[in-house]
Homo-oligomer: A and B are copies of this chain.
């Protein structure tokens, strides 16, 4: 129980650091002849300062080359100034323009964007909660609609569910804000285009079974098929999973059908590529023997052989709108609004290229 000597942590001038020019707010304050609170206010609420003080502070910031320490700010404010984007497969070029839109919108708010590929995560739920709880992110844009309910429950338990926005795909049962293309309309456009070319036997390669895009695109296809009174064949609806490989598998199944369709509407451009390459490998020509429509309009669709007819999604708009929606969700000054749960729907367009043509065998009931 002796008197304890006062112990000092060593500290001389700007802190020793891995960085050479580590300027702190107190160094700026010294140069400007004000307190650190004033420097901080100059950055966050400049209207609180007189013009003379403001100019003096900004001059000191410039002279010193000061950069705010984000870790210190995050610690004090409990705001990381960053969001996380969950992408189901970074190897799919579809996501790049969405990411560009997100980056642009969040950059305007001086926020950082972290990107994670859910293929590389064992469980996305725990990853997410971890990032929230350890002060690394303020919100999430999720492009992956296959998050299980059990993982979404983790978000709710930890109170972070209201900081998540879905883009492109969504989890229907989650009741969370989302931005999406008009998938039903896209499917309708595809089927109608094939119909107007004269096709009556139209197949559809879907996405994965439990996927909302799969349901929506198939729904649009089935509705338009019914509206146009096209023949119905269960075996013309073939299960896929948005990947190149599933397009190949679907092609093999379609080639084995007793009654072949003359056209195929694919749930994604990648599926279409897988399908077309396999049809060609088996001696069929696209579009002469079978017309093919994709969904997405990724960059390569114009450079495939034949150039792919597809449904264009405005990916950039999907990104910027999702980012705007998330900014609303995480803004502490904004109250929760029920209308945020209503999906934001972005329009789609048909892009006609070389992979579709009139069928070479004219079906009964052909127009004109």
Chain A residues within CB distance 8 Å of chain B: 15, 17-22, 67-72, 74-75, 78, 80, 89-93, 95-97, 99-100, 103-104, 107, 112-117, 119-120, 130, 132-136, 138, 157-160, 163, 244, 247-248, 270, 273-274, 276-277, 280-281, 298-300, 302-307, 332
Known A-B contacts A159-B19, A303-B247, A305-B276; the reply to A96 vs B100 at CB < 8 A is no
Closest partner residue, chain B, to A330 (CB atom): B18
Contacts of A132 in B (CB 8 A): 19
Known A-B contacts A90-B99, A103-B120; the reply to A277 vs B299 at CB < 8 A is no
Contacts of A95 in B (CB 8 A): 90
Closest partner residue, chain B, to A272 (CB atom): B303
Q: How many subunits of this chain does the assembly comprise?
A: 2
**How many whole Å from A189's CB to the nearest CB in chain B?**
24
Q: Are A91 and B159 in contact (CB under 8 A)?
A: no
Closest partner residue, chain B, to A66 (CB atom): B133
- Whole-angstrom CA separation of A72 from B67 in the bound complex: 18
Q: Are B114 and A112 in contact (CB under 8 A)?
A: yes
Q: Are A274 and B303 in contact (CB under 8 A)?
A: yes
- Whole-angstrom CA separation of A333 from B115 in the bound complex: 29
Known A-B contacts A21-B133, A70-B134; the reply to A273 vs B91 at CB < 8 A is no
Q: Are B71 and A100 in contact (CB under 8 A)?
A: no
Contacts of A71 in B (CB 8 A): 70-72, 74-75, 80, 135-136
Among the interface residues A90, A274, A306, which one has the most CB atoms of the partner chain B within 10 A?
A90
Q: Are A303 and B244 in contact (CB under 8 A)?
A: yes
- Whole-angstrom CA separation of A91 from B96 in the bound complex: 5
Among the interface residues A71, A74, A135, A302, which one has the most CB atoms of the partner chain B within 10 A?
A71
Contacts of A299 in B (CB 8 A): 91, 244
- Whole-angstrom CA separation of A367 from B159 in the bound complex: 72
Known A-B contacts A91-B299, A100-B119, A114-B112; the reply to A136 vs B305 at CB < 8 A is no
**How many whole Å from A152's CB to the nearest CB in chain B?**
16
Closest partner residue, chain B, to A94 (CB atom): B91
Known A-B contacts A120-B104, A134-B68; the reply to A75 vs B75 at CB < 8 A is yes
Known A-B contacts A75-B72, A100-B119, A117-B99; the reply to A136 vs B112 at CB < 8 A is yes
Q: Could you list some 25 contacts between A and B, CB below 8 A?
A: A18-B159, A19-B160, A20-B158, A20-B159, A21-B158, A67-B134, A68-B134, A70-B71, A70-B136, A71-B136, A72-B135, A75-B75, A90-B90, A90-B100, A91-B93, A91-B298, A91-B299, A99-B117, A100-B117, A244-B299, A244-B300, A244-B302, A276-B305, A277-B302, A304-B305
Contact of A91 among B15, B97, B304 (CB under 8 A): B97
Closest partner residue, chain B, to A99 (CB atom): B90
Known A-B contacts A21-B133, A22-B133, A277-B304; the reply to A103 vs B75 at CB < 8 A is no
Q: Are B133 and A67 in contact (CB under 8 A)?
A: yes
- Whole-angstrom CA separation of A290 from B74 in the bound complex: 59
- Whole-angstrom CA separation of A117 from B17 in the bound complex: 28
Among the interface residues A91, A95, A134, A274, which one has the most CB atoms of the partner chain B within 10 A?
A91
Contacts of A112 in B (CB 8 A): 114, 136
Contact of A134 among B17, B69, B90, B298 (CB under 8 A): B69
